[in-house]
Amino acid sequence: MENYKICSFFGHRKIEVSEELKGKLAQKIEELIKGGYGIFCFGGFGEFDDLCWQTVTKLKEKYPYIKRIFYLYDPRHENPKKRPKYLRDCDYEEFIYPAIQFDWWYQRIYYRNLEIINQSDYIIFYVKNTENSGAYKAYRYAVKSKKPTLNIA
């Protein structure tokens, strides 16, 4: 994927969105862009993912070369006509479905998340210690994999 470094985002579905959080997030993402990051990967649902997408999309006005990539968890969604309505072509520069060998939807999401982490050079999290949380499991995997991370929670 080009010569740009890759950043991804993981967080809880429900978060406390504040002006302070928005400012920290925008500052960090812009710092990453200036440091050679140009690919931003998304794959989740919820308020943190929405906030990250909005922030990257706003910064895309200033840095039009950056790309927003959505990692699909369902192989049917590779066909644009079968994608959920919230996954619009105009909102992302690319959609990727990583090869995953599991059929149950939660396993697909979990292993898709691991693949996103494996591909990322930096990961921004909004995670609190919630054992059964997918975001927390992703955070633990990233730390164990020695990936550079920021937990902005």
Tens digit of each residue's pLDDT (9 = 90 or more) over 90-149: 899 998 887 766 666 567 788 889 999 999 999 999 998 777 888 999 999 999 999 999
The model's pLDDT over 27-81, given as tens digits with 9 standing for 90+, comes to 999 999 999 999 999 987 789 999 999 999 999 999 999 999 999 877 777 788 8
Report the number of distinct structural domains present in the chain: 1
- Going edge to edge, which strands form the sheet with 122-126? 94-96, 67-71, 37-42, 5-11, 122-126, 149-151
The 10 Å Cβ neighbour count of residue 10 is: 32
Q: Contact 149/122 with Cβ under 8 angstroms?
A: yes
pLDDT at residue number 101: 61
Inside any domain, residue 133: no
pLDDT at residue number 54: 97
pLDDT at residue number 41: 97
Q: In whole angstroms, give the CA distance from residue 146 to residue 127.
A: 17
Q: Domain range for residue 74? A: 5-13+20-126+145-151
DSSP 33-50: HHTTEEEEEE---SHHHH
pLDDT at residue number 109: 82
Inside any domain, residue 121: yes
Which CATH number characterizes residue 30's domain? Answer: 3.40.50.450
Inside any domain, residue 106: yes
Three-class DSSP category at 7:
strand
